[in-house]
Amino acid sequence: TSEWTISSAAISNMTPGALENEYRFYNSIWHPDLSVPTSSSEAKDVVIQSGSATISTSFDCSNLNIYSGGTLELSQGKGITVVDAIRNNGLLKLKSDSICSASIMANGDYSFSLQYDLFVVGGATNPWHLISSPVKNQSINNFVTSSDNNIQTSNTTQNYALAVFNTSTDLWNYYHNGSGTSPNISASIAGDFVMANGYSMLRSTSGDVSFIGEYMTESEAITLTADKWNLVGNPYPSFINVNSLVDANDNIISLNTGSLNDAYEAIYLWDATAEEYKIINQISSATYLNPGQGFYVLADSDGGDFSFNETMQSHQSGDWFERRIVGSPTMNLIADFGGSQSITEVKYIEGATIGLDQGYDAGRFTGETANYFISSKFMDASFFELNLALQCIPSFNTIESDPIPINVFAIEETQITFSLELGNFPEDTFVFIEDVLLDTSTRLDVEGSSYTTIVNEDTNNSERFFLHTQTSTIGIEVLDENSISIFTSDQGQFLNVVGGVTEKSSFRLFDSLGRIVFESELRKSNKFRLPILPKAVYIVQ
> Going by C-beta distance under 8 Å and a sequence separation of 6 or more, which residues neighbour residue 476?
430, 470, 485, 486, 487
pLDDT for 319 equals: 60
- Band of residue 535 on the pLDDT scale cut at 50, 70, 90: confident
Residue 108, pLDDT score: 66
| Per-residue pLDDT, 481 | 47
Average pLDDT over residues 466-495: 67
User: What is the reported pLDDT for 477?
Assistant: 46
Q: 504 pLDDT band (50/70/90 cuts)?
A: low
Compute and round to an integer the Cα radius of gyration of the chain. Answer: 30
Range of weakest confidence among 273-287, 340-354, 407-421, 467-481: 467-481
C-alpha 507/C-alpha 460 separation (Å) is 33
Residues 6+ apart with CB under 8 A from 126: 202, 272
CA distances from 517 to 288, 486, 509 (A): 59, 17, 6
Residues contacting residue 111 through CB under 8 Å, at least 6 positions apart: 214, 215, 217
Residue 7 has pLDDT above 60, yes or no: yes
pLDDT given at position 322: 29
Under the banding of pLDDT at 50, 70 and 90, the label for residue 18 is low
Give the DSSP letter of residue 15.
-
Phi/psi at 150 (nearest 5 deg)? 55, 50
109-113, 194-198, 437-441 — most confident range: 194-198
For 389-455, the DSSP string reads: EEEEE--HHHHTT--EEEEEEESS-EEEEEEEEEES--TTEEEEEEETTTTEEEE-SSTT--EEEEE
Confidence band for 478, pLDDT divided at 50, 70 and 90:
very low
Residue 311 has pLDDT above 60, yes or no: yes
pLDDT at position 373 is 93
Which residues, in sequence order, are CB contacts of 513 under 8 Å at separation 6+? none
Task: Determine the average pLDDT of the residues in 188-206.
Answer: 95
The mean pLDDT value for 129-136 works out to 96
* pLDDT, the chain, mean: 87
Q: What is the mean pLDDT of residues 296-306?
A: 96
Positive or negative torsion for Cα 238, 243, 245, 250: positive
The average pLDDT across 377-402 equals 82
Looking at 14-23, 196-205, 306-315, 395-404, which range is the least confident one?
395-404
**Over the stretch 138-185, which tens digit does the pLDDT of each residue have?**
999 999 999 999 999 987 778 999 999 999 999 999 999 998 889 999
- What's the pLDDT score for residue 346? 94
Q: How confident is the model at residue 476 (pLDDT cuts 50, 70, 90)?
A: very low
| pLDDT on residue 326 | 43
Judge whether 255 and 240 are in contact, CB under 8 Å: no
- Give the pLDDT confidence score for residue 323 in this predicted structure: 26
Share of the chain above pLDDT 90, in %: 57
Edge-to-edge, what's the strand order for the sheet holding 22-26? 29-31, 22-26, 45-48, 59-66, 79-88, 103-106
27-37 mean pLDDT:
89
Confidence of residue 350 (pLDDT cuts 50, 70, 90): confident
Number of Cβ within 10 Å of residue 459's Cβ equals: 14
Evaluate if residue 501 carries a pLDDT over 50. yes
Alpha-carbon distance of 252 to 267, in angstroms, equals: 9
What is the band of 320 on the pLDDT scale with cuts at 50, 70, 90? Answer: very low
Decide: 403 and 467 in contact? Cβ < 8 Å: yes
